[in-house]
A and B are shown apart, each in its own frame.
Chain A
Amino acid sequence: MTCPPDPSRRAFLSAIPALTAGIATPAQAADAQATQWGMLIDTRRCIACQACTMACAMENATPEGAFRTVVATYAVTTTEGSTGLSVVPRLCNHCEKPPCVEVCPVGATFKQDNGAVLVDGDRCVGCAYCVQACPYDARFVNHDTGKADKCTFCSHRVEAGLLPACVETCVGGARIFGDLNNPDSEIAKRIKSAGDGVRVLKPEANTRPNVFYIGLDPALAGRVDGISAADMMWRPDHHGG
Chain B
Amino acid sequence: MTTTVEVLGFARGPDWLPWAVQYFFLIGVSCAAFFLSLPGLVWRLPRWRMPSRLALLAALISGLTAPVALMADLHQPGRFINFYLHPNFGSWMAWGSFFIPLYVGSLLLYAWLCLRPTLERLARQGGRLEAAYRLVAYGGHDSPRAIGLAALSASLGACLLLLYTGMETMVVSARVLWNSPLVPLVFLSTAFVGGIGMTLLVAALSGRRDVAPALNRGLALALAATFVLLAAWFGGALSGHSPVAAQAWSALASSRPWGPTGLWFLGTAVFTLWLAVRFPRSLWPTALLALHGAWLLRWIVFIGGQGIPRMGNTWFDYSIGIGPDGLLGIAGSLGLALFLYIVLTGLIPWDERAEA
Contact = CB atoms under 8 A, between A and B. Distances in A.
B311 A137 contact: yes
Interface residues of A, number: 64
Nearest to A87: B8
B43 interface: no
B138 interface: no
Interface in A24-69: 48, 67
A106 B172 contact: no
Nearest to A129: B93
Nearest to B168: A129
A156 B224 CA distance: 56
A170 B87 CA distance: 40
A141 B13 CA distance: 10
Nearest to A80: B2
Interface string A62-84: 00000100111111111100000
Interface residues of B, number: 55
A227 B174 contact: no
B88 A238 contact: no
Interface string B92-110: 1110110000000000000
A239 to B, nearest CB: 4
B125 interface: no
B75 interface: yes
A233 B311 contact: no
Contact of B75 (A99, A126, A222, A226): A126
Contact of A235 (B11, B73, B94, B172): B11
A232 B12 CA distance: 16
Given A135-B174, A239-B17, A74 B5 contact: yes
A121 B82 CA distance: 12
A195 to B, nearest CB: 25
A133 B12 CA distance: 14
B14 A228 contact: no
Given A106-B94, A137-B311, A219-B2, A238 B9 contact: no
A104 B10 contact: no
B313 interface: yes
B93 A103 contact: yes
B329 to A, nearest CB: 13
Contact of A223 (B5, B91, B92, B309): B309
Contacts of B8: 48, 71-73, 233-234
A106 B15 contact: no
A226 B6 contact: yes
B130 interface: no
Contact of B313 (A106, A108, A223): A223
Contact of A104 (B14, B74, B88, B96): B88
Given A105-B94, A239-B15, A239-B17, A77 B174 contact: no
Contacts, number: 200
Contact of B3 (A106, A226, A238, A241): A226
* Interface SS majority for chain B: loop
Interface in A92-138: 99, 102-108, 123-129, 131-137
A188 interface: no
B80 A125 contact: yes
A212 B317 CA distance: 30
A229 B8 CA distance: 8
A226 B92 CA distance: 35
A223 B86 contact: no
Contact of B6 (A106, A201, A229): A229
A225 B246 CA distance: 14
Contacts of B75: 125-128, 141, 143, 146-147
Given A72-B9, A77-B3, A222 B311 contact: yes
Contact of B5 (A108, A226, A241): A226
B34 interface: no
Contacts of B11: 235-236, 241
Interface in B62-93: 73-76, 79-80, 82-83, 85-88, 90-93
A77 B2 contact: yes
Nearest to B308: A223
Nearest to B82: A106
B13 A236 contact: yes
Contacts of A125: 74-76, 79-80, 82-83
A230 interface: yes
Nearest to B314: A228
15 contacts: A74-B6, A75-B5, A78-B2, A88-B311, A106-B82, A125-B82, A126-B76, A135-B174, A205-B173, A219-B2, A223-B310, A228-B5, A229-B5, A230-B317, A241-B12
* 10 A-B pairs closest in CB distance: A126-B75, A226-B4, A128-B15, A146-B75, A105-B94, A73-B8, A105-B93, A135-B174, A126-B76, A239-B13
